Amino acid sequence: MPRGDSRAFLKRGYEVTTLDASGAMAELASRHIGRRVLRMSFDQVRFRERFDGVWASASLLHVPRQSTAKVLERLVVAL
């Protein structure tokens, strides 16, 4: 997140829910965008029909290969 993806979406008027599994990264991102960032890993995602899109640039590569299908299912349910 500190690259500015969430901030760029916010500046364009999108409603953004930002999450990071790392507490330190969530805190840094929160300061960077000026709003709360959820400390949550992909396997903790339980949103249902909440989002119009998911931006996961350079983050899904951290999901263990054996968990990829389950994580993608969770993201689909969130859409």
Rg over CA atoms, the chain: 12
- Predicted confidence (pLDDT) per residue in 15-73, tens digit: 999 999 999 999 999 999 999 999 999 999 999 999 999 999 889 999 999 999 999 99
Give the total number of structural domains in the chain.
1
Residues 3-8: contacts with CB within 8 Å, 24+ apart?
4/32, 5/55, 5/57, 6/32, 6/33, 6/37, 7/32, 7/33
Q: Is pLDDT above 60 for 2? A: no
pLDDT of residue 4: 86
For residue 14, give its domain range: 5-78
Whole-number Å distance between alpha carbons of 4 and 32: 8
Whole-number Å distance between alpha carbons of 68 and 26: 22
Enter the pTM of the model: 0.85
CATH number at residue 40: 3.40.50.150
